[in-house]
Structure 1
């Protein structure tokens, strides 16, 4: 058994996550499906890679200097990752977020020392207007700063996210090997899918890259946004970093199918994941069935599940916001700080 060497700081634990082949949820006569366990990064998200890249690229250019405050608008995963990196490096961090996102995510940011500005949502829903409103508030804060004391990370438009995700692509190539016939991932800011997609296509040009969104918010597949409950993705507009040179198709996935896949992954594969990761696996299996035996599909777990799984009396999962039959708790998931999180929302990806 190989043992990882010691590292100088917690930042050295980012990356080098395992990649596992799914054996139970993939139907016969399908391609192999591999799942990159990005939930094993320090904050439980692949956004740790991006956060470190964004901060260090800004430091190298001199845009971010000691004493400055990092500023970002985020629904949670990016905020937790930036708060973590800023804590280790000694920067203050201010985040514009919303009450539409899981309080566990907001609590995680606060635990790392972040200052939160909360933008009210419409009945707790992620609407097409919410993310633009949060971004505008962050830009306003940066513009009104007369002392240039803020560095606005701006994950949705900042190409500094790519170096962090290109390392993820190289890890996939080293772990799975070539050829990788397809890769898919849910899109928020699109940095992860673009960074990984570019890296895979440079090594294997025939790799089919699919970007995913909730079917109820089809900005990429139908040209309009919509309300949904999958945090971190489906931002209501095509993200600026989305480059058609590095993906082949946009695919809409039903939220209900994603949640059902989360339950199957827990019960059949021993993997606790959030809803956006469930969407990833649903799409990966669709691609695996299309490609057939002898091919390889890769996707990832974007975020650890910091929640309790709410099940009704028949064992069917329901969101805590939904009505219905009496619920029982299937499993208690303990967060990285050792406290049991209450019911409500799972941690999903990032944004993407």
Structure 2
């Protein structure tokens, strides 16, 4: 048996029992692995449904251009369908989305416009507004508008809900879903509640989003809105696809917990997933006291970990945000193990001869060069030798004439791996500003000493 095109492979994703990461959560915890869709995310389902409906209604005409605001995954589904069906694609996205998502969309031939995250939805620079403007300006174009297009929810009512019901043989008691556009949770939840009204539908939200407070109070609180890192869930407005009547409760998960849990899913279950899966499992663990041993919980794993290699799966990215603490040696811990010595520097106006004498007397090979107290370069034995072989008269010249680029600067959270990669033939050290603002130097010897110590 074969499929006529890649779109026919969408759906029928596996349900997999989690065994380690949720071992302290009562009940049977099952993950719906949506990464097996051809675009590696659950958004393939609703992308094709929105296109099919638009073709039937005449909104999307042959040779047309699909224009959408997307965090990446919906765009992937739309781009894939556009290739098979002969459409062009222009996508707007935000600058908080991972580079991998943007690169993937461009790999499918789509044009991608990156817009600022930290603006109101109504702001003309927002990715919502830019996509709406383009729809008005580009001839024969159509905007799916995944947030308010109810074909989004309908796709999950028709596909995801029935699949989960059949795969659990109707035993499901709880559905846990990260909520962004609201299509997945609302469509799947509606179908499941029609089958059994006692099934609990839990939405996972993030700090900086309006969903939880709105569900609990009916108040849309703009003071709740602020930028956050977690991708794919939470919003600063109320999409039409979020059916608050279907969702029983919302639970908020911090950026840090979502990011670290995403990594744990890969490390503890061998399932390589994206940021919203980490948020969903984080939320489930926070809600574990509401569960009983006989419960059957299904958690949606929306997308694939390969889209987050520069973020949640990058230790330096995590350290820069304070999400990882000293799991590995960092600049801070290397400095703590280092003997306190005053960093030797030379002013740029000093002569090459003075540099030679300093290098000899201090038994060092490279010295940072300063100008008005700021480090502006470095001078090394090899630089001096090369310069003097070319022109012996340079002994009396200022070292600014032969100095080279300064040592790389790193921050206190930079990992030992990153520091080691910066130390090479050109740079025998890196510079770091300590907590008091004092400049310190880390050499290869300091790294070896920290490891062996």
Distance of 1:197 and 1:236 partners within structure 2: 22
Find the counterpart in structure 2 of residue 319 from structure 1. Answer: none
Contact 1:33 1:284 in 2 (8 A): no
CA apart distance, 1:56: 0.6
CA apart distance, 1:82: 0.8
- Which of 133, 139, 150 is the equivalent residue of 2:141? 150
Find the counterpart in structure 1 of residue 194 from structure 2. Answer: 202
- Which of 189, 193, 199 is the equivalent residue of 2:185? 193
Query: How many residue pairs align between the two structures?
Result: 312
Find the counterpart in structure 2 of residue 271 from structure 1. Answer: 271
Contact 1:284 1:297 in 2 (8 A): no
Find the counterpart in structure 1 of residue 293 from structure 2. Answer: 293
Alignment of 1:293-312 (within 5 A): 293-306=293-306, 307-308=308-309, 309-311=313-315
SS at 1:154's partner residue? coil
Find the counterpart in structure 2 of residue 137 from structure 1. Answer: 130
Distance of 1:74 and 1:185 partners within structure 2: 19
Find the counterpart in structure 1 of residue 8 from structure 2. Answer: 12
SS at 1:246's partner residue? coil
Unpaired runs of 5+ in structure 2? 214-220, 316-323, 330-410, 419-453
Distance of 2:262 and 2:198 partners within structure 1: 29
Unpaired runs of 5+ in structure 1? 317-321, 330-352
Find the counterpart in structure 2 of residue 184 from structure 1. Answer: 176
CA apart distance, 1:286: 3.6
Find the counterpart in structure 2 of residue 314 from structure 1. Answer: 327
- Which of 166, 174, 186 is the equivalent residue of 2:166? 174
Alignment of 1:1-352 (within 5 A): 5-28=1-24, 30-119=26-115, 121=116, 126-127=117-118, 129=120, 133-145=126-138, 147=139, 149-166=140-157, 167-214=159-206, 216-222=207-213, 223=221, 224-306=224-306, 307-308=308-309, 309-311=313-315, 314=327, 324-326=413-415, 328=417
Distance of 1:169 and 1:29 partners within structure 2: 23
CA-to-aligned-CA distance 1:193-219 (integer Å, 9 cap, x gap): 1111111111111111111111x2131
CA apart distance, 1:84: 1.1
SS at 2:30's partner residue? strand
Quick check: which one's helix share is greater?
2
CA apart distance, 1:40: 1.1
> Comparing both chains, which one has the higher relative contact order based on Cα–Cα distances under 8 Å and sequence gaps of 6 or more?
1
Contact 1:210 1:249 in 2 (8 A): yes
Contact 1:69 1:94 in 2 (8 A): yes
CA apart distance, 1:118: 2.6
TM-score (norm 2): 0.65
Contact 1:128 1:225 in 2 (8 A): no
Aligned CA-pair RMSD: 2.2
TM-score (norm 1): 0.83
Contact 1:72 1:138 in 2 (8 A): yes
Structure 1 runs of 4+ with >3 Å offset: 285-289
Distance of 2:67 and 2:111 partners within structure 1: 10
